[in-house]
Structure 1
Amino acid sequence: MASLTWDWRNKFIDYLAEGKLPVDPKESRSLRTKVARYNLIEGKLYRRSFYGPLARCLRPGETDYAMREAHKGTCGNHFKAESLVQRLIRAGYYWDHMDEDMKTFIQKCLRKGIGKRGYQLHMGSHHMSVRHPDRDHM
């Protein structure tokens, strides 16, 4: 059952749990095509990917935390958004518009982190340590 707050996952959860389709035929056809990549397990939505395990689909409030965790320690290496998105997917995270969100997040980070001399001010550990959403009970 979908939450009371609408987010991008609701239409997938509604269809997988209850077979509910949008009224618009185009939207309905589109959803049936897209939903083949998703699973509903114990009320949580997951997306299949070529990059690793099932990725838990995060709600909007969880995405900032995941981006911060993925980016922490990698900003000094200037990883591109695409690379961080793939790392997040391999770590077991997914949300709609990940690419755009990560690009925006990195741009904000770069604006904050460039000093007067033009080099990176905040550099942390270079190891990627993103906690898995189910193993770490997020």
Structure 2
Amino acid sequence: MVLGEIGFERAAVWSAVGFALTTVAIEAATFVGAPPTEWVAAGCAAIAAVGVVGFARVGGGAAPCVILAYGPLAGALVTTAEPGLTRFSIGEPLAGAVAAAVAVGVAGYLVGRVSRRSVDADVDTDADTDVDSTSTSPGGE
């Protein structure tokens, strides 16, 4: 369950979408000139982190959470890296994105699972209360 039997396909697709949207957002900020690209990249990373928590809450495992986080983080790091990237120097921002995705993915997974358990516990408590208040006597009266 930790690795996640479900969600790899969704995580991969949304990771690619996140890469594209992050790249477009940062390039648009560069074109317009405001806000600073670092702030746009940070905003995209924060949105990705919230998405990872939500994904974990609905049953995504840790590995799919890391995959989901990778796309937007890679887009942010590649787009904001030095302008003279070559095919050999592109590995540095991508390696940084892997490290960041592991950190954000695992942390988001843990937060999502803990918050899901607390919500499930509240629902179970409410269900137990409702059953007790509507129970009938053993005689059926």
Q: TM-score, length-normalised on structure 2? A: 0.29
Larger Rg: 2
Structure (1 or 2) with the greater helix fraction = 2
Higher relative contact order (CA 8 A, sep 6+): 2
